[in-house]
C-alpha cells in the first residue's frame, strides 16, 4: 500500500509540474526579437538605497532574457554584466538589431515612505501603451507591491528614440526597505520575469499571438523556479 501511494503521489506531481517545451515549433515568441535593457551599470550605479539599482536591474533583466529565450524569442541585451552603456548606445543596439519590442528595467528612489512599481510608455506610442498595460496588469498579479496609478507616459530617452514599441519599468523603490526586499529577492525577480513574459506574449504589439498559458521551468534552478511558480 505504501508503494502504491508513493507511485500515485509521483504521478500527481508529474502532472502538476509537466509543461510543454516552449522552445519547440509553435512557441509564442518564436521569430520575434526582444531587447531587454538593464538600466545603469558600471560607473553609473543608478539609485542607491537598501540595494543598488544597477545590480537589481541586471539580475531581473537576465531572468527576463532567460524566460523569453525559453519561449523561443531572440533576446538582445544592452548589457549582460556590470559595465556602462550610454543611453544612445542602448538605443542603437535595439534599433540595429531590428527588435520587435524594447523593455527597460529600472528601480526607483524617493522618500523612505515611497513604495510601488510603475510602467512607462512613450507619449504617442499606441503599441507601447498596449505593452505597458499588459505588463502593468501582470506585475500587479504576481508582485506584492503597490501599483502606482497604472501605466504612465514619459519622454525617457530609451523609449523615445527606439523604433519599436518600448516600455520602461520601475520595479520598486530601492529607498524603501520593503520594496528593496522584494526586488532583490530571487524568487520575486523570477516573478517579474514571468510577468513580462506573459505580457509580451499577450500584447497587441504581436496581434497574431495566442495568450501564453504554460511556462517551461525545467531549465530553471529548481528551488527558484518552484518558489516563483507557487503563486502563479
Which residues lie closer than 8 Å to 63 by C-beta, 6 or more apart? 189, 190, 192, 193
138 is catalytic: no
Beta strands 166-173; 101-108: pairing state: parallel
- CA-nearest of 163, 174, 196 to 90 is 163
Query: Please, what is the end-to-end C-alpha distance for the chain in angstroms?
Result: 34
Which residues lie closer than 8 Å to 33 by C-beta, 6 or more apart? 73, 74, 75, 76, 97, 98, 99, 100
- CA-nearest of 10, 34, 44, 56 to 170 is 56
Residues written for the chain: 232
Identified catalytic residue from 53, 118, 138, 170: 170
Cell of 160: 523615445
- Is 50 within 8 Å of 90 (Cβ atoms)? no
Active site residues: 170
Amino acid at each position: 500500500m505504501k508503494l502504491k501511494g508513493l507511485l500515485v503521489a509521483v504521478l500527481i506531481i508529474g502532472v502538476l509540474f509537466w509543461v510543454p517545451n516552449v522552445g519547440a515549433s509553435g512557441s509564442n515568441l518564436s521569430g520575434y526579437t526582444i531587447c531587454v535593457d538593464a538600466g545603469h551599470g558600471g560607473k553609473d550605479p543608478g539609485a542607491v538605497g537598501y540595494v543598488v539599482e544597477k545590480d537589481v536591474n541586471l539580475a531581473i533583466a537576465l531572468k527576463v532574457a532567460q524566460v523569453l529565450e525559453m519561449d523561443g524569442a531572440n533576446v538582445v541585451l544592452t548589457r549582460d554584466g556590470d559595465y556602462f552603456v550610454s543611453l544612445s548606445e542602448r538605443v542603437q543596439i535595439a534599433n540595429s538589431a531590428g527588435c520587435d519590442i524594447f523593455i527597460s528595467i529600472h528601480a526607483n528612489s524617493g522618500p523612505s515612505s515611497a513604495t510601488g512599481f510603475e510602467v512607462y510608455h512613450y507619449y504617442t506610442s499606441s503599441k507601447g501603451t498596449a505593452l505597458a498595460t499588459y505588463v502593468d496588469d501582470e506585475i500587479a498579479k504576481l508582485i506584492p507591491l503597490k501599483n502606482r496609478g497604472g501605466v504612465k507616459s514619459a519622454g525617457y530617452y530609451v523609449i523615445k528614440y527606439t523604433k519599436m514599441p518600448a516600455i520602461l519599468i520601475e520595479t520598486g523603490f530601492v529607498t524603501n526597505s520593503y520594496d528593496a526586499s522584494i526586488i532583490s529577492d530571487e524568487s520575486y525577480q523570477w516573478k517579474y520575469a514571468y510577468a513580462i513574459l506573459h505580457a509580451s506574449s499577450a500584447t497587441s504589439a504581436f496581434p497574431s499571438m495566442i495568450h501564453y498559458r504554460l511556462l517551461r521551468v525545467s531549465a530553471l534552478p529548481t528551488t527558484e523556479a518552484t518558489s516563483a511558480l507557487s503563486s502563479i
